[in-house]
Structure 1
Amino acid sequence: MENWSLVSICVLFGLTARWAVSLNSYSGAGKPPMFGDYEAQRHWQEVTYNLPVHEWYFNTTDNNLNYWGLDYPPLTAYHSLLCAHVAKLINPDWVELHASRGHESYGHKLFMRATVLVADLLIYIPAVVLYSFYLSEGSNKKKVCTVLCILLYPGLILIDYGHFQYNSISLGLALWGVVVLGLGWDVLGSLAFVLSLNYKQMELYHSLPFFCYLLGKCFKQGLAGRGLFLLVKIAVTVLVTFALCWLPFLSDPGQILQVVHRLFPVGRGLFEDKVANTWCSLNVLIKIKTILSTDTQLYFSGGTSLAPLLSCVSIPLFDTLTISGFPTYKACRGLYFYHRYTSTVRDGI
């Protein structure tokens, strides 16, 4: 009981830090024509609520992709649609097509901040607590400290609460995958991670550890027996989940290609003007933009993205006796935020 009281205090500390950050301003506030990340999230709600699904990722008269066009996977769009329905009930002006562009009001900002907080409470924070107490090692005091440290991680708080993001959803779903894999529920773990991947394509950075851990477990059980059955169950789960997430787009191959094109806009290069990243900083010292061609830049960025990931996949592939051989959350969480600014695969903002 004492431990759970301490966990409750940790959660309250985490929530307090989050809300304190949300009281401050954000990049792009009051600055037309783009108005920052706040307007991006609001605009996606406007688009998904007012336009049919087949127009969400296409450039049309009602959907200018140069103005915060959708470039996250379908689950993000569905989440935006859900938030839009709630926003419509509170104040229809918040999601009115065209007329709501650039809308900034105290009430709507409070609503947007609240949607991030609700996502944390429903998905991310419960996963953190369960991971810390049931999968991490050490004394109860150390586990409580783990909860506190994770919940106070500044990178996630600043991005989600300082700039109107929902990284806690994709990271939370991935962490749920780690938790249920640790409990031996491999199919549910696969389902959770596929959902996280269909929420943000940045979860591709976590995909190799998941894949190698599950594949290693199948090998361990024997691909001529139980291992093969497990492999089939996981494969079916992954395919069915992907199919359900992409169902509205499956009737037209052109729709699928357009969504993929929006998710992986490599044509924008390393130096897109909406994103400040490591490459832009490095270019001040070494003129990468001038020295290397666009294609070479992409290959170089891809290689530097893949290299650190390869270092954390050998353990889950060959050590499947315990979840301690699965470093996805601890090792790759930091990689996520590093590559958030270095990868050519943008996350849409």
Structure 2
Amino acid sequence: MEQAGNPPVLFIDFWPLNNPMLLIRNHDVAEQISKQSQLWPYSLPKSPSFKEYLPLVGEHSLIWGSVVLDKTTIFVQILDEHAAKADVFDLSSPWTNLTFDIIGAVTMDEGLHAQDPYALQNDFVQNYKRFATTYRDDGSPSLLPSFSVRWEQRRLGQALDTFLGDVVRRKFDLYKADSNTTSRSVLALSLKDINVLTQPIMDDIISALKTFLFAGHDTTSILLQWALYELLSNPQTLARMRNELDQVFGQTADLDRVLEMIDKGGEEVVGQLEYTSAVIKEVLRLHPPAATARYSPPATGFYLILPDGSRICADDLMLYNCNYLIHRDPQVYGETKDDFVPERWLAASAIDPQASAKFENGHIPHAR
């Protein structure tokens, strides 16, 4: 891209395998395809390539939040065991299992036992992991998937749907038998005002659960792994973050004390971790775990406005917001665009107020 002069967009022709694509590396152009417009009141529709993921994520998108502290305790114990043995191990597996356990509890009030030994894990976890491996190593669907891969995806997809359907029916009967349930899980809230569990309602709920499970566990696991990598690669950053944690929780606080403070203090305690928050933002900037691809159907008349004021008709193009390039724009982040500098998020004067508003809508602020 630098050899091409860092253009705001780059046209890539995939004919005859797929639609041509417009790769977007400018934050202002990227915002145009992900916000409301007169043509698209809910933003541009997803790219047709998203259909490759429907068996894995469901047809409806949702956002997940919250953390279950007892699952994190199990994770810390697993890390302590490895530390005591001083062995070399694949860190991606415990991170992924942690996020699976958390999301299973948050979305369904269901114990998936993803952090247990393999033989004790829920079949759903094992099938989901097998399903994920049917996609390419970079997480994207193959342009020409083989028949055997399609068949395996279909088989595993049906197994996942069967498991989730059984969970939904079981929880529906449970919640109806006890109208005073205090559960705040995604599934409990989805079933709250439903008197008859019809198939369309069942399909919608299953799609929502699959979206939470896939989008939540993968992106969170990737974020945590990169965060640990950057902290170990930058000792000064690690020391400053540890100092902040000591100031908030106390130098002698053990894991139980930390969990107790977070459980009781919630947002107030977490809100004091300004430098930790800056570290997370910088990890997301350098290593974005997800992106978005949209599509403007033919004859729609959807135009993108480039920084120089020129217009491009985007009809019948896949529009891909390349966060990796957007977050490393030298005009925004300067000479340190490739460097891990959490401090860039601490100085309010360094962040464009308009950019900060975009961050609230899912965009990274523009700070040097």
TM-score normalised by the shorter chain: which range applies? Answer: under 0.3
TM-score normalised by L of structure 1: 0.27
Q: Which has the higher strand share?
A: 2
Return the structure number with greater helix share: 1
**TM-score, length-scaled by structure 2:** 0.26
Q: Compare CA radii of gyration and give the structure with the larger one.
A: 2
